[in-house]
């Protein structure tokens, strides 16, 4: 996309961590670090990162890199932070960076959702800034590096906007410029969670005592149990498991602890099978005249606790072990049966 787009609007799961190749192996890093890893592999020399709280700073925070960026863009800084006062200044800096031909560099506008109080109807100053940036997206030109063969296409010095939601900036901005690309960052899929689980598993207690096959199986379970969750959530689960001393073989308990704040899992208790096995008289004493409903309910509960249902296998992903749908007129015992089952299973 860098040869054909001069600006990118990134929205969605931008505050997650991402799998990033590094010299020491794959790591989970924030979007800015992940983006920088990609750009560095493309020959980029530095990033400028802006937000309304911290202003502009140079990434990576290495003095030779910062000094070069300051010199090339004619900037001054205090402790690595560029002095600027308003969006007009940011527009001027963006123009100098985009038009720079002696170095590959990029600008990241972070927390762009906070640039305007009314994104779809910005005030005059905000409107001027967005118009400047729109015009810049159309006027920018890609360039090739001197001394590099023809195999590498000319690239833009791009601008990246990081938004919580795509509508947090004027909709016309990306619609009216063919040079602005819109990318929605999705929640990680199963493959991404599986790779993340392999990276995070060594943080669990007992990891070193497991065989290669056991590690692979628990990685699969970890990925399955975190369906719909972010990689940052998975990282937090690993930290919590280490703090709570939850072994890797009980990774579902670590996920459950993260979700509800409790390590105790009543479904793993040995006494639960015995309680369910002997529960019919107790339930029928409280729910009168519903022998068929009680029989079916007890059958489902027993098979779920024993691990004999497909619903049980799928429950590792946080889905229910089963769903009981009680239908009937008022007064036949639907609510009482639900209350009785809750009392039986969880003691409350």
> What would the pLDDT profile of 289-340 be if each residue is shown by its tens digit?
888 898 888 888 887 777 655 544 444 445 666 788 899 999 999 999 999 9
Provide long-range contacts, Cβ within 8 A and 24+ apart, for 56-64.
56/81, 56/82, 56/84, 56/90, 56/93, 57/81, 57/82, 58/82, 59/32, 59/108, 60/36
pLDDT tens column, 194-223: 999 999 999 998 899 999 999 999 999 999
Length of the chain: 348
Backbone angles phi and psi of 28, in degrees to 5: -95, 120
**CA separation for the pair 155, 3 (Å, rounded):** 4
Res 314: pLDDT:
46
| Cα 1 to Cα 156: distance, rounded to the nearest angstrom | 10
Q: Which of 38-42, 73-77, 208-212, 265-269 has the lowest mean pLDDT?
A: 265-269
pTM of the model: 0.78
Comparing CA positions, the residue from 190, 198, 187 lying closest to residue 26 is 198
Domains of the chain, first to last: 7-185 (3.40.50), 190-264 (no CATH), 268-346 (no CATH)
The answer to whether the CB of 174 falls within 8 A of the CB of 182 is yes
Q: Which residue is listed with tokens 């598993």?
A: 201
Residue 226 to residues 169, 207, 235, 340: CA-CA distances in angstroms?
Answer: 32, 19, 11, 30
């Amino acid at each position: 996309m860098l040869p054909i787009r001069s600006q990118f609007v990134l929205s969605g799961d931008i505050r997650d961590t991402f799998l990033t190749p590094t010299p020491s192996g794959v790591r989970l890093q924030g979007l800015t670090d992940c983006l920088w890893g990609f750009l560095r592999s493309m020959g980029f020399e530095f990033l400028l990162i802006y937000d309304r709280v911290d202003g502009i700073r140079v990434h990576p925070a290495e003095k030779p890199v910062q000094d070069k960026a300051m010199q090339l863009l004619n900037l001054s800084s205090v402790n690595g932070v560029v002095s600027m006062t308003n969006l007009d200044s940011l527009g001027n800096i963006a123009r100098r960076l985009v038009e720079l031909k002696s170095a590959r560099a990029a600008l990241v506008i972070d927390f762009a959702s906070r640039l305007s109080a009314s994104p779809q109807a910005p005030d005059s100053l905000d409107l001027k800034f967005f118009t400047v940036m729109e015009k810049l997206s159309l006027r920018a030109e890609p360039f090739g590096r001197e001394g590099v063969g023809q195999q590498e296409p000319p690239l833009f010095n791009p601008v990246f906007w990081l938004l919580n939601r795509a509508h947090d900036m004027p909709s016309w901005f990306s619609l009216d410029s063919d040079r602005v690309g819109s990318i929605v960052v999705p929640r990680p899929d199963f493959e991404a969670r599986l790779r993340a689980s392999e990276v995070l598993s060594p943080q669990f207690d007992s990891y070193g005592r497991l065989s290669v096959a056991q590690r692979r199986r628990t990685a699969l379970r970890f990925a399955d149990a975190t369906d719909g969750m972010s990689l940052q959530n998975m990282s937090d689960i690993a930290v919590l498991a280490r703090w709570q001393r939850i072994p890797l073989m009980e990774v579902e308990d670590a996920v459950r602890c993260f979700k509800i704040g409790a390590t105790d899992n009543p479904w793993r208790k040995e006494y639960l099978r015995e309680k369910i096995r002997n529960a019919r008289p107790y339930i029928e004493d409280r729910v009168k005249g519903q022998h068929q409903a009680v029989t079916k309910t007890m059958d489902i509960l027993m098979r779920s606790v024993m691990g004999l249902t497909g619903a049980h296998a799928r429950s590792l992903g946080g889905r229910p072990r089963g769903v009981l749908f009680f239908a009937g007129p008022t007064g036949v015992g639907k609510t009482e049966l639900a209350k009785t089952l809750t009392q039986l299973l969880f003691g409350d």
